[in-house]
Amino acid sequence: MASNLLKNIVKLDTRVSVSQNVCLPIRCLSTASPRVKDKTGKNIVFVDGVRTPFLLSGTDYAPLMPHQLAKEALIGLMRKTNVPREVVDYIVYGTVIQEVKTSNIGREAALAAGFPNSVPAHTVTMACISSNQGITTGIGLIAAGAYDVIVAGGVEFMSDVPIRHSRKMRSLLLRANKAKTPLDKLKLLSTFRPDFLMPELPAVAEFSSGETMGFSADRLAASFKVSREEQDQYAVRSHTMAQEAQDKGYLTDIVPFRLPNSSKVIEKDNGIRVSPIDKLAKLKAAFVKPHGTVTAANSSFLTDGASACLIMTEEKAKQLGLKPKLYLRDFTYVSQDPIDQLLLGPTYATPKVLEKAGLSVNDIDVWEVHEAFAGQILANLKAMDSDWFAQNYMNRKSKVGIPDLAKWNKWGGSLSIGHPFAATGVRLTVHTANRLVREDGQFGLIAACAAGGQGVGMIVERHPDATAL
């Protein structure tokens, strides 16, 4: 079944389901599927979400600071929803690679965006699922009765990451700051060595294993026998579908970004590139050299971008005259072995969140799953299709099952649109919302892996007032 899956996933024909027991993806809002019960007593809704265009790092955003991107996402959200800033009770914002000058970037971005001084904000970090964590933290605050209206989001700015002095140099400078006399300072200076000047460069690597995520992805693809050709084909699929969505005007979550002190306005993502499969096949391995299968073309790229969304109780939305896009029905976080199963979060999260919500794989109309690497996505699909994996690693009697791939990441994903780590969760959520409207579906499932062997699964339901604009 898994081999058939990998053949079908690259056909790019979304009219045909690859699953024998699922209906065609275009259908009316279901009355047959069970309605997921609200567990909070608040009917918490996702009103809308926006993002700046996602750009390759080192391009147009390079001269900026991350809080400037976050500021524009927050301003864009309030303009799109037409909600006064004073109505917002609290802001939860995510970031992964932190700019030290704006350590609580949620607060700094909110102030820059014109929110009242009285609106508290805090910053969360959970690697690639940081803005998912922002959303679910907001759910918790609303469910607890603390607040009614929450803004959540995330920003990542890989064009300018912090580079530190070596630890030896930092220690020397700190001690020099405490030196009282010229003699004390001379004694410290005598301990200086040239190697103190070697900087510490940031690396996208796991602290617990020292292994880069790309290296882990290569090992994972090998473990599940995912070929280089399959990965390249999936990458072409992602870019092709993203290009189609961009051309059709479906990416309505983007708010144009006017560069400061410039007349240039950025209006679309710049990483979407549909290339011939034979061109991808010529690229060399990026991590496990020379025989690895993960390349620059079948991996997500370093991206700058920010996102923001508005969540609240349904009652509050009605009071404000808003038309929400989604009910936020259920969520779960998972953790597993960060070495051999670093990127299998979707496999572990999917059955848990489906069971919590009382749904099955076949009830899901829209799947939006983070694409860190093509090999990671295909390994997850194979794991979900394996009884052996379910029984030996997940303490389950049978496999999760294969999603209907005609409903899977139909507007592309992180491989093509881009992946600013902490901003992706909101992008996944608003794409789920807008796809549910355009594809006339009811339930969506959002899933992602994250550093540390963690992952998230979220169940959302289309709101009857939802639009795709």
Dump pLDDT digits (tens) for 70-124: 999 999 999 999 999 999 999 999 999 999 999 999 999 999 999 999 999 999 9
Which of the residues 23, 28, 128, 309 is marked catalytic?
128
Q: What is the pLDDT of residue 152?
A: 98
Which structure tokens are listed for 157?
């700015």
| Paired tokens of 217 | 């992805």
- In sequence order, the β-bridge partners of residue 449 are 455
Express each pLDDT in 341-390 by its tens digit. Answer: 999 999 999 999 999 999 999 999 999 999 999 999 999 999 999 999 99
**Amino acid symbol at 229:** E
| Dist CA 29 CA 17 (whole Å) | 18
Candidate list 23, 28, 309, 449, residue with the active-site label? 449
pLDDT-based confidence at residue 293 (cuts at 50, 70, 90):
very high
Count the alpha carbons within 13 Å of 183 in the hemisphere toward its beta carbon: 0
CB 336 within 8 A of CB 440: no
Could you tell me the sign of the dihedral formed by the alpha carbons of 48, 52, 56, 58, in that order?
Answer: negative
> What is the per-residue pLDDT for 32?
38
Q: Tell me what the mean pLDDT of segment 250-275 comes to.
A: 97
Instruction: Flag whether the pTM goes above 0.85.
Output: yes
3-state secondary structure of 465: coil
Name every residue whose Cβ is closer than 8 Å to that of residue 266 and which is 6 or more positions away in sequence. 52, 53, 55, 60, 61, 256, 257, 258, 259
Q: How far apart are CA 469 and CA 428, in angstroms?
A: 16
Rounded to an integer, what distance in angstroms lies between the CA atom of residue 77 and that of residue 149?
Answer: 13
Q: Would you call 309 a catalytic residue per the annotation? A: no
128 given a catalytic annotation? yes
Cα pseudo-dihedral 1, 28, 255, 317, rounded to 10: -120
Closest CA to 308 of 458, 136, 94: 94
Complete DSSP assignment for 83-145: --GGG--EEEEE-SS--GGGSSHHHHHHHHTT--TTS-EEEE-BTBTHHHHHHHHHHHHHHTT
Paired tokens of 33: 């599927």
Write out pLDDT tens, residues 224-253: 999 999 999 999 999 999 999 999 999 999
Q: Which residue has the higher pLDDT, 83 or 6?
A: 83
Per-residue pLDDT at 4 = 58
Can you spell out the DSSP letters for 167-184? HHHHHHHHHHHH--SHHH
| Letter string b/e over residues 58-78, b meaning 16 or more CB atoms within 10 A of that residue's CB | eebbeebbbbbbbbbbbbbbb
Q: How does strand 55-56 pair with strand 303-313? A: antiparallel
DSSP state of 149: E
Residue 7: pLDDT band with limits 50, 70, 90: low
CA distance linking residue 169 with residue 151, whole number of Å: 40
CA 189 to centroid of chain Cα atoms: 46
* Strands in 233-302 per DSSP E: 257-258, 265-266
Residue 322: closest CA among 67, 87, 40: 87
Q: Cα–Cα distance between 156 and 419 in angstroms, integer?
A: 9
pLDDT band at 127 (very low <50, low <70, confident <90, very high): very high
Using pLDDT thresholds of 50, 70 and 90, give the confidence band for residue 22. very low
Q: Is residue 282's pLDDT more than 90? A: yes
**Distant-in-sequence, close-in-space partners of 198: CB < 8 Å, separation ≥ 6:** 166
